[in-house]
Structure 1
Amino acid sequence: MSTTASDRSSVDKPRFRDTLRSLPRRVWVISLGSLILNAGSFLPSFIVLYLTGRGYSAGAAGLVLGASGVGNVLGNVIGGYLTDTIGRRAAILLSVVATAGLTALVPFVDPLALIVVVVGLIGLVSQIHRPAMAAVLVDSVAADQRLAAFGVLRFAQNIGVALGGAVGGVVASISYVGLFLGEAAALLLFGLIVTVLLRDAPKAQSDADDEETQEDSAVGYRQALGDRTLVRFLLMAVFAMFVYIQTTVGLPLHVSDVGMNARDFGLLMALNGLVVVLFELPLISVVSRYRPHHVLAVGNLFTCVGLTLTGFTTGMGLLAVTVLIWTFGEMVYSSIAQAHLASLTPPGLIGRYQGLYGAAYTIGTGAGPIVGGAVYAFAPWALWTMVGVLGLLSAQLCLRLRRPDDAVAAAHS
């Protein structure tokens, strides 16, 4: 990583901790809501156990998961459009209220076909709020605060996910009805926070400059997908997420193949979670000094190297080292991806750009387990080779994620 020639010295820039303190209330409101939302998000993690416990086959559970995955992709695209048209706050409220209602229905639905429809709709409406939340952050902060704002949001999400896994396991052991009703309650609490504490800010100047784009979703997405820089960004995200999701596919399969057990895998993943919670925010203060496209490339390289080495590693100690390597890559990539995308976004398309990123993210994480599992079954070395190749491709694409005429992208997001 290298700084630009025109970068100001570190003396002229506020310290990262001062930037955090100066973040507006809207950032903290969205982050608090996201923590609650993730802490109460049980359906994606427990739907398979719930269905098999009710006597449905693994194939039926897979069909339900597939419907949810398709819904996730469409939900991000639709959410991007709604964010740019009906507004950020309205899109968030629509998403959480609809998701709460549908989630509360799940334990009372019996026919498999109806379960597929309901869970597929949940997958769709549950993603609508994501581009809107990202747009709220972009609207609320200056360009040099974006990295800190998205860092706070991701920190809150990580805490929420950790809490949700622990709480969900306890509640599921008592009652799945209580589990899904609890998720619906968490969604409504998030909606209440948005209703009471989040007010739509005056329309961002960048949005006001492009009314024509906002009035036609076809024009908006056609314009977005005609942006070669965005297309490179989306391809990078698909490859990067395909590689990263092998932490839940290739890694556990490898752990089992080398004679280790589920407890060992759990400890490795706990190491990942602990490092992310403790070090990601401090790391952001370091990477903020460098060009964002270089930071993204380095993050993808570390993730690629760490996971590729997994296939050649045995023993808890060495595997822990590989976990630390790809965890560093995860933190570097995740800390800056959405913030840098915001700096590449033209007027009036914040929601659509963030929505397309969410769709690319979902495609990568959805295809990764299916393709990765099949390739590993054919030959483990083939999966780790694929991980290495796609990781290098994603890093190479990162180096082209800069607009020559964009001073903001040339400095810092």
Structure 2
Amino acid sequence: MTRWWTQTAGGLPRTFWYLWTATLINRLGSFVAIYLGVYLVSVRHFSPAYAGMVIGLHGAGSAAGAVLGGVVADRWGRRPAMLAGNLAAAAAAVSLGLSGHPVAIAALTLLLGLFLGVARPAFTATIIDVVGERDRLRAMTLNYWAINIGFSIAATVAGLVLRFDPLLLFVINAAVLLGTAALIGLKVPESRPAPVTVGQFTRADRGGLGTVLRDRVFLTFTALTGLAWLCIESSVMLPVALRSDGLPASAYGPIIAVNGLMIVLGQLFVPRLIGRFDRSRTVAVAAVVIGTGFALTALADAVWFYALTVAVWTLGEMLMTPANSALTADLSPAAQRGRYQGVYSLGYAFATFAGPTLGGLVADRFTTDALWLGLFGLALLVAAGNLLAAPSRARRIAALRTPAPPPSPARQAAAV
């Protein structure tokens, strides 16, 4: 076990562990994002339709903030983006807890999502900056592990806090954001790389989102990732399937808990399992596993069977997430890592909206079985897309790793 732990977590820089701790602290107190819908309906007595709209605004703000934060991280630095995002989000969280007007709640929720989104690309870009290429898969896996540990604990504690005093949801969340900012401010140095010219990316340190939006290899990767996450996010339709099989809706909690339990207990074993394989092919295999899990859901008719299907697609998620994170780092020019991270996050933002929305439409118009089989087909298309894209990604990664040739004497003379 000592040797395994050393191989899993040893040799990573101290700055990474400060970031890892900040991730854990941040997720331990992420009460508002988890219980906002419950708070609006049960405490403020708004309609479910209004609560759904507000939650959607939080997601939209987070997506817009991630793009903005990526630009800030590349132009002005990782620390300004992380500090400004967390401090502003803390103020928005407290203001949201004190507000009772529906328009103010909607506006503050949008701002909260925006400020949280601003900090995230800079955070991931800093991990990529400080961790060497060989260790990035391990680092991303450890960070994902911290996210899930914090989320699992927060989901439990937030319910108790809500019963005691709903305002504490927002106050504790704000305190955690301030603590995250303090840890980053005291212990995490600026890591933005110095401007360099690498391969064809001669202007990677300048401009806005143009380089990212012209990068078809990366945009294809982001789209495929978003479709894979759409499959996973569609799992919110499981209670509908349980009800159609005559099973209690309360069984959804223990069934979906399999997802978090597997990730927390097993995620640290993933790097050694997939580290030696091509990442695009790993993601393709993961997509097939995810699709298989949902195909089996169409056959499930008992609680244990549903739990088994969740275990199958969770295994695919565990394989996909660190491989995708490492691929994002590999495909991002050093001076534009923030912007690339911001655009990459749009794939997940799309999935969090489209998965429940389209899943609900398919389940309502047809059946949940049609939804699960459709997700299986979509997952196979994602797998095929990743296999077809593997050669172009390999060429792009090789180009990014190849230093640009020195300028010719004629160009040097012209520059003088």
Which protein is bigger by CA-based radius of gyration? 2
Among candidates 371, 391, 394, match of residue 403 of structure 1: 394
**Is the Cα contact below 8 Å between 2:23 and 2:146 reproduced in 1?**
yes
> For the aligned residues, what is the CA RMSD?
2.1
The corresponding residue for 2:256 is 269
Q: Which residue, out of 165, 174, 188, partners 1:175?
A: 165
- Residue 214 of structure 1 aligns to a residue whose secondary structure is coil
Indicate the residue corresponding to 2:234 in structure 1. Answer: 246
1:228 aligns with 2:219: no
* Deviation sequence 1:243-301 (CA, Å, 0-9, x none): 01122x22222122212224422111222221111111112211001000011111111
TM-score normalised per structure 1: 0.90
Deviations 1:336-371 (A, max 9, x none): 111111111124211111111111111111211111
Does residue 152 in structure 1 map to residue 142 in structure 2? yes
Paired residues of 1:292 and 1:409 also in contact (CA < 8 A): no
CA contact under 8 A between 2:61 and 2:111: conserved in structure 1? yes
Structure 2 partner of 1:319: 306
Extract unaligned runs of 5+ from structure 2: 402-416
In 1, Cα distance between the equivalents of 2:63 and 2:352?
A: 11
- Counterpart residue number, 2:318: 331
Check the 8 A contact 1:16/1:148 in 2, yes or no.
no
Local SS of the residue matching 2:335: coil
CA distance in 2, matches of 1:87, 1:343: 20
Q: How far apart, in 1, do the equivalents of 2:181 and 2:284 lie?
A: 36
Paired residue for 2:85? 95
1:39: Cα distance to partner?
A: 1.0
**Is 1:73 aligned to 2:60, yes or no?**
no
Match of 1:22 in 2: 11
Distance 1:24 1:363 in 2: 33
Q: Select the residue among 89, 99, 102 that pairs with 1:109.
A: 99
1:236·1:394 contact (CA, 8 Å) conserved in 2?
yes
**Residue 288 (structure 1) aligned to one of 275, 286, 293:** 275
1:191 corresponds to 2:181: yes
Moved more, 64-73 or 145-154: 64-73
Q: Post-superposition shift, 1:26?
A: 1.3
Residue 117 of structure 2: SS of its match in structure 1? coil
1:230 Cα offset (Å): 0.6
Q: Residues 314-338 of structure 1: CA distance to partner in whole angstroms, max 9, x if unpaired?
A: 1123222212210110100012111
Q: CA deviation at 1:48?
A: 1.4
Q: Is the 8 A contact 2:227 2:347 kept in 1?
A: no
For 1:155 and 1:59, locate their aligned partners in 2 and report how far apart those are by CA, in whole Å: 33
Listed as ranges, the gaps of 5+ residues in structure 1 are 1-13
Correspondent of 1:50 among 23, 39, 50? 39
Deviations 1:6-30 (A, max 9, x none): xxxxxxxx98843621000111111
Amino acid at match of 1:378: R
Q: Are 1:258 and 1:314, in contact at CA under 8 Å, matched by a contact in 2?
A: yes
SS of match in other structure, 1:22: coil
Distance in 2 (CA, whole Å) between partners of 1:304 and 1:205 is: 42
1:61 partnered with 2:48:
no
Partner AA of 1:113 in structure 2: V
* 2:119 paired residue number: 129
Q: Is the 8 A contact 1:19 1:145 kept in 2?
A: no
Query: Using a 3 Å threshold, how does the CA distance of structure 1 residues 208 and 134 change in structure 2: closer, same or farther?
Result: farther
Residue in structure 2 matched with residue 3 of structure 1 by the alignment = none
**Alignment-derived partner of residue 216 in structure 1:** 207
State TM-score, norm by structure 2. Answer: 0.89
Tell me the residue number matched to 2:27: 38
Task: Give the Cα–Cα distance (whole angstroms) in 2 for the partners of residues 388 and 206 of structure 1.
Answer: 44
Partner of residue 406, structure 2: none
Aligned positions, number: 392
Q: How far apart are 1:207 and its partner, in Å?
A: 5.6
Distance in structure 1 (CA, Å) of the matches to 2:17 and 2:152: 19
Q: Is this contact kept in 1: 2:87–2:177, CA < 8 A?
A: yes
Cα deviation, residue 66, structure 1: 1.9
Distance 1:172 1:229, change over 3 A: same
1:29 partner letter:
Y
Instruction: Check 1:287–1:163 CA distance in 2 against 1; reply closer, same or farther (3 A cut).
Output: same
8 A Cα contact 2:57 2:106, kept in partner: yes
Deviations 1:195-248 (A, max 9, x none): 1111113x425667679543421xxx221121111111111122011101122x
**For 1:57-81, what per-residue CA distance to the aligned partner results, in whole angstroms no more than 9, with x for missing partners?**
1111122112112112111111111
State, as a whole percentage, how many aligned pairs show the same letter: 30
Distance in 2, matches of 1:55 and 1:158, equals 30
> How far apart, CA to CA, are the structure 2 residues paired with 1:371 and 1:405?
33
